[in-house]
Amino acid sequence: MVTTERSAFEFLGDWSGQFIATAIHNGHDVRPEVAAELVLPDEDRLREEDPHTDVIGALVPARVVVHRSRFEVDLNRSREKAVYRSAEEAWGLEVVRDPPLEPAIVGGSLEVYDGFYAELGRRLDVVAERGPFVVFDIHSYNHRRGGAEAPEAPWAENPEVNVGTGSLDRGRFGSVADAFIESLTQAGTSAGPLDVRENIRFRGQQLAAWTHARYPGRAAVLALEFKKTFMDEWTGEADHARLDELARAVASTIPALQEALVEVATP
């Protein structure tokens, strides 16, 4: 069990531009009082988190990395649902020994939630003043849920990269999403072109919806779900060479996105 006294999240890099990468499910840390209530095995918790997504976004100029586990507070859900209070709210997983959690513990987790969105808002307010911007909202997903030796989930419903644009204003930012998909598909990797498709499994959740609502006409959030081909989802072992390739691939889309943003900003 990884308990922590370090910061719940960090804002890193150069925030003078219009491209930001977030890794809000990257964290595995929990506060000691939360750890005392958890019954979900550590390895099962890690499997449902998104480790190494901070690495995938590491070459984007401005970055947000969250260190707290989604099992303490899920920043990609509405505030009312951000703390898992029952198995039904956590994919059937038994998370805490005696649900619901004590109000004081829930309150401490919601302080993290409120602090995160307050600081993100302060940062993005400045970015939005300069013009349209792109957020790479980076996540990952499991594709061998049947076990370590089970077949991969079917290709048709499980792209290498799912681009969620459910709350994106496609009338204004459709060209931005299209430019990203085309550019990422063309990015070279040792395994060949990436399979990048839109809204197949995921459409984006709270971070995307919150950002789009706060910055209408300014924000283009691309909710990116990377299939966990860059790691063994059952052991947690990472393929660091593959992660580096994915980081370079994401960063390589920025020139095409910059051109698309110029067109969006031009009447």
Higher per-residue confidence, 99 vs 76: 76
Query: For residue range 37-56, what is the model confidence (pLDDT) as tens digits?
Result: 999 999 999 999 999 999 99
Q: Which residues pair with 164 in a beta bridge?
A: 223
Structure tokens, 28: 């595995």
Indicate whether 192 pLDDT > 90: yes
Instruction: pLDDT band for 5, please (50, 70, 90 cuts).
Output: low
What residues contact 239, with CB distance under 8 A and at least 6 apart?
229, 230, 231
pTM over 0.95: yes
Taking CA atoms, 209 is separated from 46, 78, 135, in Å, by: 26, 10, 12
Domain boundaries, the chain: 9-265
Give the mean model confidence (pLDDT) for residues 216-242.
Answer: 97
Q: What is the pLDDT of residue 4?
A: 58
Q: What is the pLDDT of residue 150?
A: 87
Give the mean model confidence (pLDDT) for residues 200-220.
Answer: 99
Q: What is the pLDDT of residue 47?
A: 95
Give the mean model confidence (pLDDT) for residues 186-199.
Answer: 96
Give the mean model confidence (pLDDT) for residues 157-161.
Answer: 98
Return the amino acid letter for 193.
Answer: P
The class that CATH gives domain 9-265 is alpha beta
